[in-house]
Chains A and B, each alone.
Chain A
Amino acid sequence: VRTERLSLTPDVDRKTLAQDLIHADERSIAWCVLDRASEATAGLVQLLVSSWGPGLCYQPGVPWADDKRPAVLPKPAGSRILRASRTRVWLSDNQALDRDRVMESLEHGCLPLQFTQAARVEREQGRSELARALRLRPDESGTLAPLSGDELKSRVETVASALSTGALERALTVENG
């Protein structure tokens, strides 16, 4: 939503964050999107609503009236939205994971999922389990398969484990150069 991170817990250690993440499946909201309003963000939200049902979405800005209008909802509102959601999804053309969004989500006990268009993903099979757990892509028909309880749990455990051992930070460092 903004340039600065929504971190409320800068001093929390990795293991505490990992323990928090393990409980993500207890949250009532399947997903959230926190990104500026655009055709692309609207398309992602529409895909998520159609595939996973409604979630929380805050898309600040009014492109056709005032492109630079600042977000109305403040940082704590973004934090509350993240705290209520099992996953946080964002759209990215970049092959590397968005480090800030990944950590921001984890600091709120929310599984980060970087959505990448299928055609732009290469060598998906060659990715590590951790890299796959943090990524989301549509199937060949352009829809998203439902994120089952088992799959969510599997992804959360993979990410929590990597977070507690420091493997996640190393992976993010490698991906982002």
Chain B
Amino acid sequence: MAENALRRLRAWLKRAKTTPATVQQVANVQQDQTRDVHAIGARVSALVERVDVLESALAELAHMRDVMAERSELSLIAALTPARDTGMQELLRTLGEPKPLRPGLSILTISWNHAGFLRSSVCSALATLDLIAPDEQGAVLVLDDASSDETPRVLDELQEADGRVRPVRSPVNLGLSRARNALLHVAETTHALMLDADNTAVPEGATSLYAVAREWSAAFTFGNVTMIDPDGSTVATASNEPPTTDYFSARGPHIDTLGVLDVAYFRQIGGYSPDPAFHAFDDHEIIHRLARLGALIAFVPTVAGRYRFDRLSHSQAHQGSHEATIARLRRAYNQDGRLTAQQPPAMAAHPATGPLWATPAALSARPELAKLLTSSVETR
């Protein structure tokens, strides 16, 4: 028994003598592992940095792809321009001289291969006309911009169902601006609602735009446009603020095409610009031009329409031209800085509230606004 205890003591002493060396070995291993971990950490950090650089490069490549696609599109548009100019002249010759304008509202719809949306758009246009006095009802003028889908058949059916629908067919694809201008040429009323085929009007809201446009002789009158995703969900609201100096220095436009136009004034200024540089931003260009020319722009705080927010739509498919267009607009209309220094002639009003706001330029153009804006708010 004592011999066993002695053997165990000797073994213990032997292990105790070797322990420091073992501890040192463990410490050395830990040191090595710590060094390895640090080395791996440094490599991971370097990899993360490289991934960041690659992501930036990919984003830049995507942007370049958009820009190249847009340049390609611009080249195509430039190549098409002579044919479109000729097509426009021939169409206008066929349509004859513009008729005298009578007080009223027409709806102007351009459509290129939008047969799938046309019925909804035209029905909302007819419902809008139904809300105004019969003698002020104009036509729903739909320009079929050389569609190759079933647009002609759909238009025939719509015309057969309601004689106020008047198709205008262009054998040559004119593009947005010329197509809009062709409809301005055939309009027979003082005012027109520009309603693209993939949009729908909210009839009561659209007639409020007309009422404000008529009362205040605004060149362009717009109201809120709700952007709806193809899946039916609501994306955002556009056309929700009147233009101020901020509008002309912002990174992007917020005023949609949908609005009521003073037909005579738009004809006088040559309508929408066919400049290829503005082909996806014709609505943005017209706001710049109206502001520059001192024309009154009116905002109505109500929903006037719905906009189908589709990545395939004309405006969304040409976001690559955004920066170039903004730069060109600034060069064309704001080299002297006036648009970003002086408020444009703009106002806000609704038939139920009367005038709500006006810029000094609008007050100067419509002095009667001042009294109405400073009068006390009615109790009921």
Interface residues of A (CB under 8 A from B): 8, 20, 23, 26-29, 37-39, 41-43, 45-46, 49, 53-66, 69, 71-74, 76-77, 79-81, 83-84, 109
- Neighbouring A residues of B350 by C-beta, 8 Å: 56, 81, 84
Which B residue's beta carbon lies closest to that of A85?
B352
Q: In the bound complex, do residue B236 and residue A64 qualify as a contact, i.e. CB atoms below 8 Å apart?
A: yes
Chain B positions within 8 Å of A41 at CB level: 237
B residues less than 8 Å from A60 (CB atoms): 240-241
* Interchain nearest-CB distance for B135 vs A (Å): 24
B228 cross-chain contacts in A, Cβ below 8 A: 46
**Residue among A29, A55, A69, A72 facing the most chain B CB atoms (10 A cut-off):** A72
Q: Which residue of B lies closest to A73 (CB)?
A: B357
List of B residues within 8 angstroms of A43 by Cβ: 233-234
Whether the Cβ atoms of A45 and B303 lie closer than 8 Å is yes
Contact status A57-B377, CB under 8 Å: no
A83 x B357 contact (CB < 8 A): no
Q: Which of B353-374 contact A (CB under 8 A)?
A: 353-354, 356-357, 373
Chain B 242-272 interface mask (CB, 8 Å, partner A; 1/0): 1010100011111000000000000000000
Instruction: Provide the main secondary structure of the chain B interface.
Output: mixed
What number of B residues sit within 8 Å (CB to CB) of A? 39
On chain B, the residues within 8 Å of A83 by CB distance are: 353, 377-380
Partner of B234, one of A46, A61, A64: A46
A80 x B356 contact (CB < 8 A): yes
Q: Closest residue of chain A to B227, judged by CB?
A: A42
B277 adjacent to chain A (CB < 8 Å): no
Task: Enumerate chain A residues within 8 angstroms of B379, measured Cβ to Cβ.
Answer: 20, 83, 109
A-B contact pairs, 24 of them (CB 8 A): A8-B377, A37-B236, A37-B240, A42-B234, A42-B236, A43-B233, A46-B303, A54-B202, A55-B302, A59-B237, A61-B241, A62-B252, A64-B252, A65-B253, A66-B250, A73-B242, A73-B301, A73-B348, A79-B377, A80-B377, A83-B378, A84-B353, A109-B379, A109-B380
With A and B bound together, what is the CA distance between A28 and B352 in angstroms? 7
- Check: B273 CB closer than 8 A to any chain A CB: no
